[in-house]
Amino acid sequence: MKKTTCAACDCELGAETITVKLGGKAVEVCCEECARALNEAEAATSSASNGKE
């Protein structure tokens, strides 16, 4: 059986996961804290790249 890990913290995922869209791709995380962290990171990188010419 393939082991799946959290996209944010690399912990092994259990039965309950949260799916987050990141850069148009769905990734799985282990908890709300990791989901928020990925969403905040994506928002920061997209706003930083929008400011560039």
pLDDT digits (tens, 9 = 90+) for 2-53: 679 999 999 999 999 999 998 889 999 999 999 999 999 989 988 777 665 5
Residue 12: per-residue pLDDT: 96
Residue 50 lies in a domain: no
pTM value? 0.78
Instruction: List the domain range (segments joined by +) for residue 26.
Output: 1-43
User: What's the rounded Cα separation, in Å, for the pair 24 and 27?
Assistant: 10
> In the prediction, which pLDDT does 1 show?
57
| pLDDT recorded at residue 2 | 67
In DSSP terms, 45 is beta-bridged to: none
Residue 3 has a pLDDT of: 74
- Does some domain include residue 10? yes
Rounded to an integer, what distance in angstroms lies between the CA atom of residue 53 and that of residue 41?
21
What per-residue confidence (pLDDT) applies to 51? 62
What is the domain count for the chain? 1
